[in-house]
Amino acid sequence: MNAVETFQKDFEALDRAGGPLQRLRRAGWDRFAAHGIPTTREEAWRFTDLAPLARQPFDLGRPSTNGIGSPPSLAPGLVFVDGHYRKDLSVLPDGVHVSSLAGALREDPRLMEGVGAPGEGEPFVALNTAFLEDGAFLRVAKGSRLPAPLHLLFLGTTKAAHPRNLYLIEEGAEATVVETYASAGDTPHLTNAVSDIRVGPGASLAHYRLQVEGPSFHFGAVRARVGKGARFVSNNVVSGGALTRNDITGSLDGEGAHCTLNGLYVIRGTQHVDNFTRLEHRMPRCESHELYKGVLDGRASGVFTGRIHVFEDAQKTDAYQASANLLLTDTATVDSQPQLEIYADDVKCSHGSTVGQLDKDALFYLRSRGLPEAAARHVLVRAFAGDVADRLEIQAVRERVDRILSERLGG
């Protein structure tokens, strides 16, 4: 059985259970089935070959109470294994309206209506919707503020996991959410996660996404709709996975909305990371700032696509995008492409993209001051990654990124 046949078998089994989500799931499946696993003939997948995924079947992860080694945790928070909430491993923070999505759907089966539908060209969101069961649900009520960052840990074993997260940040509310994706072992698994986000008028959400999995296939979609005068910050850090594709979308839906996309990936060996970001400027006077950086060692390959779509009504748009990549070897590769589509005439849009290697003169300078080669390289890589790393406002996350940089450069 190949991957698609396995998905179909598991979808049909889930479909037989029926329930209030059946219609949405079927819509997801139909859309996925019509598209299939994307190929490199598709523009949006040109540099990411999914043939290895198509050949490798992963059975659907089911709720379990199996023991998990020692998960790398940023607790307290919610823990999910193979996409399902694990009450026994979780520590719910006090005074926060957070639960599993499965639990929230039991109370309100219509919760995902209007937010859950996959769009055109989102085959993995469609697949996730076909298997929509569980994930994290957060509601931050109007005018209130989450007292501390909410930590969510998603652990994969050997299965296919399709966690679906929904964050509703209501008018004037503030929150920080940290999603960490990790592996329970060192076997391959599939993660296909989707986070649907609503940031209400004047509200603010800082969203962190740390992907430190083992040899997984990882698909991550973040779909944020940002309201009038609201702020959304996405911090997307990748060091894990055999093959990773992230689709990060910020839709600036209300006047004066503000969106920041920070990205950092540090990969080696034969790891592949494809970050596809989309900023949709739909209304006037919105701002977006985007900075993506990659550090690639070994034969690793990276792809960055930065699409900025400025709609006709979005006058006075201010959009800035930069991507920079550091290749530590001659065998690492990067494809970086900005895609600007601008239909308004009074806008400020700029972008820049660089790919380079470590500066030999700087390396010699550091070594002449006593730093051994590995340490000198580390200093320069940290300096390169620094402007993204230093934007990570949570100290624990920043430290984690520093650890990743140290580990990655050690070997």
Partner 1 sequence: MKDRKPLLEIRNLRARIDEKPILNGIDLVIGPGEVHAIMGPNGSGKSTLANVLAGREGYEVTDGTVTFLGKDLLGLEPDKRAGEGVFLAFQYPVEIPGVNNSYFLRAGLNAIRQYRGMEPLDAVDFLKLAKEKARLLDVDDAFLSRAVNAGFSGGEKKRNEIFQMAVLEPRLAVLDETDSGLDIDALKIVAHGVNSLRSPERGFLVITHYQRLLNHIVPDFVHVLDKGRIVRSGGKELALELEEKGYSWLEKEPAGAR
Tell me how far, at minimum, the Cβ of 375 lies from partner 1, in Å.
6
Of 359, 391, 398, 402, the one binding partner 1 by CB under 8 A: 359
What CA–CA distance (Å, rounded) separates 362 from 411?
21
Tell me if 136 sits within 8 A of 101, measured CB to CB: yes
Instruction: Tell me if residue 23 falls in helix, strand or coil.
Output: helix
Of 95, 269, 365, 393, the one binding partner 1 by CB under 8 A: 365
- Cα end-to-end span (Å), the chain: 37
Tell me how far, at minimum, the Cβ of 379 lies from partner 1, in Å.
6
- Closer Cβ to partner 1, 343 or 364, answer by number: 364
- Closer Cβ to partner 1, 148 or 379, answer by number: 379
Tell me how far, at minimum, the Cβ of 38 lies from partner 1, in Å.
37
Give the CA distances from residue 185 to residues 39, 134, 147, 156, 359, in Å, rounded to whole numbers and listed in that order.
Answer: 29, 22, 33, 8, 37
Tell me how far, at minimum, the Cβ of 389 lies from partner 1, in Å.
10
Binding mask 368-397 for partner 1 (x = CB under 8 A): xxxxxx-xx--xx-xxx-xx----------
Q: Is 68 in the site for partner 1 (CB under 8 A)?
A: no
Tell me how far, at minimum, the Cβ of 396 lies from partner 1, in Å.
21
Q: Is 52 in the site for partner 1 (CB under 8 A)?
A: no
Q: Is 362 in the site for partner 1 (CB under 8 A)?
A: yes
317 class by beta-carbon count within 10 Å (0-12 exposed, 13-18 middle, 19+ buried): buried
- Closer Cβ to partner 1, 66 or 395, answer by number: 395
Scanning 165-173, 181-189, 341-349, 357-365 for contacts with partner 1 by CB under 8 A, the matching segment is 357-365
| Other CB atoms within 10 Å distance of the CB of residue 387 | 14
Q: Is 119 in the site for partner 1 (CB under 8 A)?
A: no
Residues 6+ apart with CB under 8 A from 115: 166, 196, 198
What CA–CA distance (Å, rounded) separates 409 from 403?
10
Residues 6+ apart with CB under 8 A from 144: 173, 174
Of 35, 278, 289, 367, the one binding partner 1 by CB under 8 A: 367
Site for partner 1 in 265-324 (CB under 8 A): none
Tell me how far, at minimum, the Cβ of 382 lies from partner 1, in Å.
8
137 - beta bridge partners? 99, 166
Q: Is 360 in the site for partner 1 (CB under 8 A)?
A: yes
# of chain residues touching partner 1 (CB under 8 A): 23
Instruction: Tell me if residue 286 falls in helix, strand or coil.
Output: coil
- Closer Cβ to partner 1, 335 or 359, answer by number: 359
CA 353, 355, 360, 362 torsion: positive or negative? positive
Pairing state between β 243-252 and 217-226: parallel
What residues line the site for partner 1 (CB under 8 A)? 359-362, 364-373, 375-376, 379-380, 382-384, 386-387
